[in-house]
Structure 1
Amino acid sequence: MGVISLLWGVLALLWMILALIPLLGWGNWFLIPFAAVGAIIAALGILFTHPSKRGRAWTGLILNGIVVVVGILRLGLGGGVI
């Protein structure tokens, strides 16, 4: 699960960079739930993985968390949140 969450976080990060381009901010509406699912997968990976092998799951959780926060901030700045 750690590898899946890490790859999910990298994909979400790339999508976030694309959604930062003006007129592509609508992608944040799809990005935030996508990254939230990745964070849930990472949390499950942290719960069910041996403590010595949780590094990838923690990295995935951090990446997905950063993407969610930046996506919400981008929607707030761009007027996407009413």
Structure 2
Amino acid sequence: MNTIELKRSFHSLIDSINNDSLLMNFYDLMKTRTSTKEGQLWNRLTEDEQEELLMTLEESENPENLISNEEMKHKIIKCPFDDL
């Protein structure tokens, strides 16, 4: 999809949304993303935080370190029978 097609599709998507709250969230996101300079968030992190993120990214590329969506849901939403 070229830039013109993408913009047209983007406008059509926005025009099809009839939820004011969703539109406001979308607007805020786009405004923030277009006004934030690239690398600004990264530069606010400490050196330790940057290193931890890079290590996490590297670890996530190894399938052995990943868990399924179902397993993650189970960890987040504790089953009431887990303690029995």
The interval holding the TM-score normalised by the smaller chain is under 0.3
Question: Structure 2 length normalisation: TM-score?
Answer: 0.26
Question: Structure 1 length normalisation: TM-score?
Answer: 0.26
Q: Which has the larger radius of gyration?
A: 2
